């Protein structure tokens, strides 16, 4: 059985922030990035999100398979037809994804969720949209306490609009 | 007299860090980025650097006009033929650059220097190299305590090698 592929999708400012401090969400991204995001979410078997991101995007996510990383449940808990709450301290995300037979996993953030997946080795590809804006400070994509270096290959560069580009990276096996 | 143009030049990881924590310098960047950096430094009338960056790059910078931002001098102090130490708390960087007649100013970092220039409105263009690596944590490009949003236009996308791209942004006047 092929291993699931974990694909992080994120939009960042020129200075690498996924949001200004205190303003989570993607209201600042371009229409073209939002369009791309919808398309890639359509390609997902399941979407992994943190609880804050899930609350912000509950509308668009409500009809999609989601695993919501949260400390609010003991281990895992099914919430409605499409949504599984999972406490990553108590349940194994990778094993759960395998067990449920998901092949294409989209990681939608936020920072804690991206970082958790990176640290767990559950990050095979990244789609990074760079919007032409500087925040000066904000939430970084990854904020790990651990030191590590991971190498990727640049698979594709796509122009989303005259000022916004999309980079697709694939992890180089270690 | 035309205003000087302030051009920040930086290489970042996929996750937007200019260096891993505790490891300043650009030893991790590609040969092609180093080549680009030499070319753009050749185009500078003067290079603005912080003291740490200056110490790291003292060799390549020794024959170029530099303004080193540092608290080690009272106001400004000429150090040898090419180098001016300037304490940004006590001397006006923008006025000094104008007074010395420099037109093309390259800002070489590090984070404090990029951030200082951003906050002072001394940042007209950015050349951002993105290397295909994740650090997970590190030094961000800008780390301002202030909240602000600045909009740029994407002027050019250049492939430096199969995995490294260079983005050229120009500030959109407010």
pLDDT in tens, B57-81: 888 899 999 999 999 999 999 998 9
Chain B residues with beta carbon closer than 8 angstroms to that of A142: 15, 134-137
As a whole number, mean pLDDT of residues A18-38 equals 89
Evaluate if residue B36 carries a pLDDT over 80. Answer: yes
Contact A152 B133 (CB under 8 A): yes
Mean pLDDT in residue range A118-126? 96
Residues 11..30 of B with a Cβ closer than 8 Å to A: which?
A: 12, 14-17, 20-21
Kindly report the pTM of this predicted structure: 0.95
pLDDT (0 to 100) of residue B23? 77
Say if residue B144's pLDDT is above 90: no
Distance from CA of A82 to the nearest CA of B (A): 31
Q: Do B136 and A157 touch (CB under 8 A)?
A: no
Give A152→chain B minimum CA distance, Å: 5
Could you tell me the CA-to-CA distances from B129 to A77, B32, B76 in Å, in that order? Answer: 43, 10, 32
A20 Cβ neighbours under 8 A, 6+ residues apart: A28, A135, A137, A138, A139, B147, B149
Average pLDDT on A89-102 reads 97
Q: Tell me which of B30, B144, B154 to substitute to probe the interface with A (most A C-beta atoms closer than 10 Å).
A: B154
Helix H or strand E segment including B36? helix B31-42
CA pair distance B108, B111, nearest whole angstrom: 9
Say how many CA atoms lie within 13 Å of B172 toward its Cβ: 11
If you average pLDDT over residues B49-55, what whole number do you get? Answer: 94
B15, B132, B144: residue with CB nearest A142: B15
B124: helix, strand or coil: coil
How many CA atoms within 13 Å lie on the side-chain side of A88? Answer: 20
Distance CA B5, CA A2 (A): 53
């Amino acid at each position: 059985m092929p291993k699931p592929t974990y694909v992080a999708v994120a939009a960042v400012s020129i200075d690498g922030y996924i949001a200004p401090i205190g303003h989570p969400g993607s209201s600042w991204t371009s229409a073209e990035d939002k369009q791309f995001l919808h398309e890639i979410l359509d390609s997902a078997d399941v979407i992994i999100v943190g609880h804050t991101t899930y609350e912000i995007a509950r509308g668009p996510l409500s009809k999609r398979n989601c695993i919501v990383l949260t400390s609010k449940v003991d281990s895992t808990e099914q919430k409605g037809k499409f949504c599984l709450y999972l406490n990553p301290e108590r349940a194994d995300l990778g094993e759960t994804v395998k067990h449920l037979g998901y092949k294409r996993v989209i990681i939608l953030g936020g920072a804690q969720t991206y970082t958790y997946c990176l640290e767990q080795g559950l990050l095979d590809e990244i789609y990074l949209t760079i919007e032409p804006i500087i925040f000066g400070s904000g939430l970084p994509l990854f904020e790990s306490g651990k030191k590590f270096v991971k190498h990727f290959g640049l698979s594709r560069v796509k122009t989303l609009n005259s000022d916004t580009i999309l980079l697709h990276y694939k992890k180089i096996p270690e």
